[in-house]
Structure 1
Amino acid sequence: MPYYENVFIARQDISSAQVEAITEEMAEIITEDGGTIARREYWGLKSLAYRMKKNRKGHFVLFNMDASIDAIREMERQMGLHEDVLRFITLRTDELPEDPSVMMASRSERGGRYGRDRDRGRGEQRKEEASEPTAEPAEKSVEPAGEAP
């Protein structure tokens, strides 16, 4: 059977227990048809890029599964009918990933916002600027006022 990855977004005003119930319901559809759920991740309540059905936030859930296309179609049909599911997407993948998803990896494992090399240049520049000698301003000659040559 081919491998699939599914992410769905549930409404913001339902509880985590209700999200877990939706997750169990969708997993049951897959397993009844002979498929297996390799990984199930709850990413939490996240802000959406734009409003969806009057919601600014949503509960995100990821499935990695090995299932038949009929089971996937039935799961997608049920997600479309479920009033608490805002959006979903299912993608076919070549293999099941071994490591945790990017959303579940800690910030240090992901490399942070800009990666590790971004900060290093600034400190070195400051050290170089401090070691360069600064030119002192030239002295101005002041002539007394009153007598002009």
Structure 2
Amino acid sequence: MPLYEHVMIARQDLSNAQAEGLIEHFSTVISDNGGTIVGTEYWGVKTMAYKINKNRKGHYMYLRTDAPSPAIMEMERLARLHDDAMRVLSIKVDAHEDGPTVQMQKRDERSERGDRGDRGDRGDRGDRGDRGDRPRR
């Protein structure tokens, strides 16, 4: 059977349990139509680049499936009809990668370091020598 990867965005006002319940709901839809779920991940609430249905944030979910095309079409149809699901992206892939996705790896690295991870060492704030000579204002 073909291999697929799906990313879903659910409304921001759902609880984490409700968002993970959506993963279970769509997993059963695929299983009932002859497919299998290889893996699922809940990525959490993330800010989107633009508003979708008046929402600035959304719950992101990721599924890896091994399912026939009719099962995927049925899952996407039900996702379009579901009030809580805002977007679904399904991509056919040649092979699933082993291990967690990049999103989950970033989360693990941040929790291990204990910082935001995107800032780096700021050092002494008083030293501004890298800016060159600036005229006084």
TM-score by length of 1: 0.71
Q: Which residue of 2 aligns with 1:45?
A: 45
Task: Give 1:107 deviation, angstroms.
Answer: 3.1
Question: What's 1:56 paired with?
Answer: 56
Bigger CA radius of gyration: 1
Match of 2:14 in 1: 14
Q: Tell me the CA shift for residue 64 of structure 1.
A: 0.4
For 2:102, what is the secondary structure of its paired residue? coil
> Partner amino acid for 2:102?
V
Give 1:91's aligned residue. Answer: 91
Percentage of matched positions with identical amino acids: 46
Structure-1 separation of matches of 2:78 and 2:48: 22
What are the ranges of 5 or more consecutive residues in structure 2 without an aligned counterpart?
122-137
Cross-structure match for 1:107: 109
SS of corresponding position for 2:103: coil
Structure 1 residues 121-132: aligned runs within 5 Å: none
CA deviation string 1:111-136 (max 9, x = no partner)? x659xxxx9xxxxxxxxxxxxxxxxx
Q: Which amino acid aligns with 2:67?
A: A
CA offsets, 1:11-64, max 9 Å, x none?
000111111221111000111122111110000001011111100100000000
Superposition misfits of 4+ residues, deviation over 4 angstroms: none
Over the residues paired in the alignment, what is the CA RMSD in angstroms? Answer: 1.9
Which amino acid letter does the alignment assign opposite residue 11 of structure 1?
Answer: R
SS of the equivalent of 2:13 reads coil
Alignment partner of 1:107: what SS? helix
